[in-house]
Structure formats: C-alpha cells, structure tokens
A and B are shown apart, each in its own frame.
Chain A
Amino acid sequence: MPKKINLSTIVAIFALIFLYLPITAVVGLSFNTSSNSLIWKGFGFDWYKNIWSNEAIVQGFQRTLFVAIVTTILSLVIGTTISIGLNKMKAGGFLRTFSTAPAIVPDLVLAIGLLTTFSMFSFNLSLLTVIIAHTAFCTAFVVAVVLARIGLIDPSIEEASTDLGASATKTLFKITIPQLMPSLTAGAVLSFTLSMDEFVIAFFTNGPETPTLPMVIYSMIRFGVTPEINVLGTLLLLVSFVGVIFAQRIGKVADSI
C-alpha cells in the first residue's frame, strides 16, 4: 500500500524548514572563507580563527560569559529561596503568579522599568546593572521550574529529617536540595542561555564602555552581515545546545534516583 501523504504532514515539513533554514544558513555560512558572507568562496575554518583577533568580540564574549555565570548563580539562589518560601507558606495563586510574572512581562517594559529604577537611585550603568536586570527575569524562570517540582515532594521527608535530629540547614542541603536537583539544573541552563543571548534588557541597562556580545553583534550588523557574525551565531548556538543536552542528561540521572 502506497504511503499516504496528508496535508498536515506537508504543513509540518514546511514549518520545520521554516524554523531550521535560518539556523542552517548561519551555521553553513560560518564556514565560508569569503569576506562577504553571502558569496560562497569555499569551505574553511578561517573565520573561526580570525574571530579571536577581534578584540571587541573577544571582550564582548568574556563579558557575556561573566554576566551569564553570575546571573545563573544569583537566580538559582534567589529563585530556590523564593520557591521554598512559597511552598512552605502554602502561598496561593496570586503570590505564585507574581513571582513568575517577570518571565512573561515584555522585555521592553522590564528594560524601561529597570532603567528608570537605576536612574532613580542614580546607579551608574555597567555590567553590574546588567547582572541585576538579568537576575530579575531569570529568577522568575527558576521559580517557575523549581516551584513545579517542590510541590511534588512529600513534606514528611523534611519532617523525617528534623525528627532524626538534623538542623534546618542540614535538612536544606542534604534532603531538600538534592531532591530539587533536576529542576535546579533546568533552571540553571535556562538562566544561562537566556542571559547569554539577551539583547533588549542589556541594551537599556548596560553602560557604553562594556558592551556584551549581543550588543557587539548588533553594532557590527549595522554594516551588513559579516562571516564573523555567522561564526558567533554558530558558537552561541553550540553553547545553548550543549547546555540543553547537559541538562537532559542530569535530569535523567536525577529522575532515576
């Protein structure tokens, strides 16, 4: 019997092409040896080597990495604390929604709000303000992920730890956090990748002397798409990809516990 191809299959295939064509273009063209990214001259890793001599890119990359790492740590600590607190006080939907809202508030609104707040307290815009800004919305993602899991933990497990003589701190680190591990990993990967390629909020809250990588790319792109940009895009993609795979691995290991 010949395989029937129905309309939904066709739509699905087109949708996939539509989704992945731009990504394929970026990755493919990053291997172009030509200095004009749209004219194919040959396959090579030339730009992968050249890119490291561009100081603006290297520094931008370092700043982005720094911001992403600090943001991830801060969001994890704050987000987990909020989740544990909300769970303990059996907070209702209102508080829960409020603590996850920054994740869905439009970036632009958040960016303007943060900028206003920083100027109100006459903060100098710098990487520090970017970190604060990123932590604000990444925390919301961590809360969303951790809160979903923490409710599933049997509350008697923490009571058992207390009953067996453990201090509150020991219970937190030996009992509660190990059980939250899968969602903490997911929250960390989310925060890291979101912060890595975040542009709008960084653009508003960063000082002029310390552009992050997306801001560097933005200023480069005004003169046309260069192969360097394709290389950067591919590298960012790789980082996110590795992050997601890593998270899945950890998640699987943790779920088997």
Chain B
Amino acid sequence: MLSVKNLTKKFGSVTALNNISLEIKNNEMFALLGPSGCGKTTLLRIIAGFESPDSGEVLINDSDLLSIPTRIRPVNLMFQSYALFPHMDVYSNIAYGLTNTDLSKSEIEKQTYEIIEKIGLIEHVKKKPNQLSGGQQQRVALARAIARKPKLLLLDEPLSALDKKIRQEMQTELKRIQHEVGITFIIVTHDQEEAISLANTIAVFNKGEIKQISTPQELYENPQNEFVADFIGEGNILSAEVTSSGVIHPSLGSIKNSENKMAGNKVKLLIRPENITLEKNSNGSGIIQDVVFAGSKKNVTVQLSSNEIIRVYADKALDLEVGSKVNILFKPEDVRLF
C-alpha cells in the first residue's frame, strides 16, 4: 500500500535517512522503532508532507505521494503533543478536517457524530481540550485524525504522554479502532514495548538506517545484528572468538558455529536471560552478584570469569546465594551469533 524507495534526507551534515526502503501492506499496524534521532520522525514527516527528501520516492497504492500537496494528501498525522486546537471544543476539533472538504453542513455533522460515538466522546463534545484528561485528549486527537478517512494514519509516539494504566487501555483501543476503520497505521516510537504490543510489523531504525524489518516475535528470536539484539528485549551480548573448532567463549567454552563465521574473527553472541539455567557448582564459571525476587522469577546477576556480567531469569524456587559459584547452562539453538 505504501512503498518507500531509496529515501535519503540530510540536515546539513547530519544524515537523517540513508537510502531507506520499505513496504507497508494494506491494513497493517506498522511500527518505526528506534532511539531518538534515528530518523524515524523524519520519515514520518516526509510521508505527512512536512519535509521533503533529498532523493528517493514514496508511492501510495502505486502512485506518487510526494507530489501531492500536504493539504490534500490521503494521509493524516496524530501528533505526539496531540496539537489539539485549544480555542475550539471537542466537536469543532474533530469536525475541522471535514470543514475543509466540499461536504454539506449536515453531512459534516453526521460524520462527526459518527466518529465521536465510535471513539466514545459523546459526553464531552462541548468541552475544551484543557478540560479533558490526557487519555480523553488523545481520543480527540485520534478522532480528529481519522475524520477525513485517510488511507494512512501516522501516529507519532501515540502512548508516550500517557500514564501506565491508560496506556494499556489505549493500546487495546487503538487496535480496536484500527480494525474497525480499516486504515493502515504507521506508529513511530522509541519504546520497544509499545511497538511490540501494537504492531504486526516493526522496522528497527538506527542512525538513519533500517536494521531489520520483521514481526515482533522474529525480531526477538532472530535478531539479524547486534543493534536489534540489544534494542529489542533484554539480552546478554558477549564477545567470543571463532576458531577452527567452533566459537570459543572464555567462560562458556565452545559454542556451535551456527552462522559459519570465518575462523580468526571476533564475534558477538546473544543469549536471552530466560534461556539460561544456573546450576550450583563450586567449580562453576560464574559468581552470583545479585539476586532480586521478582514475583514469578528471580532476576539474577552473574559475573563470568571473563569479567562480563550477564542477567538470568532463574526459577524462584532455586536457592541462590550471593558470592556462590554456578555453572551457566543453555541450549545451543538459543544462541545467536553476529
């Protein structure tokens, strides 16, 4: 539905986007995820029409999007700050986009009330934005952004301004509304939990480049590089060396060279905390540094003989003492090499 091809954008000497290409399917919840300053917001603003790229193209349903003026693009943006019009009530805010069309007054009113009902704001129509809670303001912003029935809705950090409880409520709500209105959503966020819980597909950005585009589960289980491994979920990233007999880590020993890395190279390996089992052993290669009880599990910090620190989710029944030695056990298939 949306194709971004070889997009490049520079601000002075800073490259915000470096030859970015991606495909977004119809009706998808697509997330652009990355740390701040990675270029995701620039991409969003190019699609919305507030920036233009130095080179590359953006196609919507196979026709050029960038040549369409911002005002009439079939794309709407929900701003991070919501950007509600403070001097207008909820109704006028939501109806604003429709007043810029040829629709008759009665048609505008009908469509606006349809949306107001869908988003559940009926008792607030006469209120000004500053009389609403954060969650309600966000609903108004969402209603206003979908009122023109865009083909594509862009959401800039949609949940970042909400507190935790309303956040979960809005997550469900966003999914429900996306399903109901059938609009493709692109979500920009720096928060991996937000991306994982909302999106079907995530593009991980760093320094103006796409590091990987996959489903949330795929990103977690099969990260293609160290950046993604580190950015998505919690992981232990350790340094090892490739020899002719396999990958050798000074504390963990020989690990299967699943990626067929060339001998003599240094590699990084990733093991997730839940994939490690600890076994008490006075000759073990790790020393327990810290144990924190976390309800269903224990969060254990272990120092390896290589001086690297790893995190392990251990069984809460396991009796672990700080300072005691342990063996580090894991399955070869749970290790990723970069």
Contact = CB atoms under 8 A, between A and B. Distances in A.
Interface stretch (A29-37, A163-171, A227-235): A163-171
Interface stretch (A41-49, A93-101, A154-162): A154-162
B50 A166 contact: no
B81 A179 contact: no
B141 to A, nearest CB: 9
A160 B84 CA distance: 8
A167 B71 contact: yes
A69 to B, nearest CB: 26
Contact of B100 (A157, A170, A178, A257): A170
A174 B294 CA distance: 53
B182 interface: no
A154 B85 CA distance: 10
A164 B100 contact: yes
Contacts, number: 57
A156 B84 CA distance: 9
A178 B85 CA distance: 10
A56 interface: no
B72 interface: yes
Interface string B46-80: 00111000000000000000000011100011011
Given A257-B86, A257-B87, A160 B79 contact: yes
A175 interface: yes
- Classify chain B's interface size: 20 to 34
Select the residue from A154, A156, A162, A164 with max chain B CB neighbours within 10 A. Answer: A164
B148 interface: yes
B186 to A, nearest CB: 14
A159 B83 contact: yes
Contacts of B80: 156
B97 A165 contact: yes
B42 to A, nearest CB: 14
Contacts of A163: 48-49, 70, 76-77
Contacts of B5: none
A160 B129 CA distance: 15
Contacts of B83: 154, 156-157, 159-160
A164 B81 contact: no
Contact of A166 (B71, B76, B87, B128): B71
- Classify chain A's interface size: 10 to 19
B76 A164 contact: yes
Nearest to A257: B87
Nearest to A177: B87
A58 B245 CA distance: 108
Given A178-B87, A179-B87, A164 B128 contact: no
B144 interface: yes
Given A165-B148, A175-B85, A179-B86, A159 B50 contact: yes
B79 A166 contact: no
A164 B97 contact: yes
A134 B273 CA distance: 74
A167 B147 CA distance: 17
A164 B50 contact: no
A165 B100 contact: yes
Contacts of B84: 157, 160
B338 interface: no
Interface in B115-135: 128, 130
Interface string B33-51: 0000000000000001110
Given A159-B79, A160-B77, A257-B128, A165 B101 contact: yes
A90 to B, nearest CB: 14
A254 to B, nearest CB: 8
A134 to B, nearest CB: 31
Select the residue from B48, B100, B144 with max chain A CB neighbours within 10 A. Answer: B100
A62 to B, nearest CB: 36
B144 A164 contact: yes
Nearest to A175: B85
A51 to B, nearest CB: 43
Contacts of A162: 49, 70-71
A160 B141 CA distance: 10
Select the residue from A161, A162, A163, A170 with max chain B CB neighbours within 10 A. Answer: A163
Contacts of A156: 79-81, 83
A251 to B, nearest CB: 14
Contacts of B85: 157, 160-161, 175
A166 B92 CA distance: 14
Given A154-B83, A160-B77, A165 B128 contact: no
Nearest to B69: A162
A163 B78 CA distance: 10
A160 B77 CA distance: 8
Q: Which 6 A-B pairs rank lowest in CB-CB distance, beginning with the nearest? A: A165-B100, A164-B97, A156-B83, A160-B83, A156-B79, A178-B87
15 contacts: A154-B81, A154-B83, A156-B79, A156-B80, A159-B50, A160-B83, A162-B71, A164-B96, A164-B97, A164-B100, A165-B71, A166-B71, A166-B100, A257-B128, A257-B130
